[in-house]
Structure 1
Amino acid sequence: MSDVSSLLGEQVSVKFSGDVIFEGILTDLGQDILVLFNGIKYYYIPWMHIHMVYQNNELKEKIKNPLQPSITQEMETISYRKILSNAKGIFSEIYVTGNITFHGYIMNVMSDYLVFYSPVFHTMYISLSHLKWITPYNHKVIPYNLSDESLVIHPFNNPLLRSLESQLKKEVGKLVIFDGGTDPMKIGLLNKVENNQLELSVASGENVYLKLGHIKSVHLP
């Protein structure tokens, strides 16, 4: 960590899963997360997905230091879970897979997943091990320019179980959509959840079997 900490306050490039490269000022870091400011907003990126951090002296555009504080400002030490907890209730963008980002609010942080409320998808479960980054919006941003009447965040009143596997067992017998619904083989009726495996009946009636560890997001239509 000492080598990376020498780059605090410097303009760096961060390469992480999927060969995605972000450029910005390294404003903070912890044991399992770093904070990058790209000139417009902060990105909170878990270390588990970072492949490389380096100072890129060839960057043409100089990024100005942030005027607004990050959500880590009052933390003595930062961590992935602390940042997720501090982001609760702030309209945010999160990225988990492919070319899809989800926009909404963190409602609860559980052992290995978080409960996320999206105005589009409504209640979602997001695997913590697959969340690549989160960036909270400015407090003045109104999601999708929705009116107060349209933007109603429905509280999740049902009891939540600590693990994603246990929570999904409660959803057996319901239609589910995994990973944003871009793959038709990940949309269907959830038949069984057992031993880190899922049995799903897709539109054709065929049963497919998925490994829970590879599921990045879940929502129920």
Structure 2
Amino acid sequence: MGIEHLLNKEVEIEITGKIICTGILVDTGTDILVLFDGNEYVYIPIVHLHKIKEFSAKDRQVDFPKFKETLGNNEPISYRKILINGKGKFVKIKLSETITLHGYIVNVLNDYILFYSPIYQVILISMQHVKWLIPYPPLQTPYGLTNKTFPIKPLNNPLARSFEEQLKKYEGDLVVFNMEASSDKAGVLKNIQNNIVEIQNASGEKVFRKLSHLKCVSLALKEPISL
């Protein structure tokens, strides 16, 4: 008996970062769970699953959803399929307890997502660090903005297939790691070698970080990109 026996039951899920999600388990795949929390569908990569159990709270009960989830398309689901089906849609993506990004999935590569945020513009997101993804309703736009408010233009250069190779294209450019611009996680990207990233911070100091610990990288580009 596996997780499938919890389908259509209210559950409590703990994921990496001690993040707790509760709701009705509506679907499972080999590497992803789909939860309905009473308002939204939450797509949770199983790689971050720490614990799942049946949950019953006397003062809280989630009703079964009255609308269908939009990213599964009534087919066997997987993490990659969900991301691909989410291209061009307004979503929120949680990377840690303190990092939640709102914007559009532009492209899905081998191990990273090209993401566009109206606030931060271009962001590369490491797929291994996505804790959950929630699509917004189809007609909702970011922050109530219109397309005229944040005109979208194409990215000039082709994308590399891997997170590491794409980052190498930005050597010499200003970058921010994990949305922490006020720390040693922001500066000029100097070099990437053997899974180690070197940046020069605002004080001119060299700082080295392990690539696999980078959740996301925002880029100081002049132009937004095309969906």
TM-score range, shorter chain: over 0.9
1:71–1:83 Cα contact (<8 Å) kept = no
Deviation at 1:73, TM superposition (A): 4.6
For 1:92, the equivalent position in structure 2 comes to 91
2:175–2:188 Cα contact (<8 Å) kept = yes
The SS at the match of 2:23 is strand
**Residues 149-184 of structure 1: CA deviation (Å, up to 9, x unaligned):** 103233334200111111111100000000012551
* Pairs aligned (count): 220
Q: Identity over aligned residues, as a percent?
A: 43
For 1:7, the equivalent position in structure 2 comes to 6
Q: Does 1:78 align with 2:81?
A: no
Letter in 2 for 1:115: L
Question: Structure 1: how far apart are the matches of 2:181 and 2:16?
Answer: 19
Deviation at 1:59, TM superposition (A): 5.0
1:33–1:47 Cα contact (<8 Å) kept = yes
Q: In the TM superposition, what are the counterparts of 1:54-203 in structure 2 within 5 Å? A: 54-58=53-57, 60-181=59-180, 184-203=183-202
Letter in 1 for 2:81: K
TM-score by length of 1: 0.95
Structure having greater relative contact order (Cα 8 Å, sep ≥ 6): 2
Deviation at 1:148, TM superposition (A): 2.9
For 1:22, the equivalent position in structure 2 comes to 21
Question: Structure 2: how far apart are the matches of 1:93 and 1:171?
Answer: 25
Letter in 2 for 1:199: E
Question: Structure 1: how far apart are the matches of 2:212 and 2:115?
Answer: 19
Structure 2 alignment gaps of length 5 or more: 221-227
For 2:224, the equivalent position in structure 1 comes to none
Structure 1 alignment gaps of length 5 or more: none
For 2:225, the equivalent position in structure 1 comes to none
**Residues 43-82 of structure 1: CA deviation (Å, up to 9, x unaligned):** 1000000101100123521111111111245342100000
Question: Structure 1: how far apart are the matches of 2:54 and 2:24?
Answer: 10
TM-score by length of 2: 0.93
Question: Structure 2: how far apart are the matches of 1:167 and 1:201?
Answer: 19
2:32–2:46 Cα contact (<8 Å) kept = yes
For 1:36, the equivalent position in structure 2 comes to 35
Question: Structure 1: how far apart are the matches of 2:128 and 2:79?
Answer: 11
Question: Structure 2: how far apart are the matches of 1:117 and 1:136?
Answer: 14
Pick closer, same or farther for the CA change 1:218–1:59 going to 2, 3 Å: farther
Deviates more, 1:177-186 or 1:167-176: 177-186
2:19–2:97 Cα contact (<8 Å) kept = no
**Residues 123-149 of structure 1: CA deviation (Å, up to 9, x unaligned):** 110000001110000012121111331
1:92–1:135 Cα contact (<8 Å) kept = yes
The SS at the match of 1:66 is coil
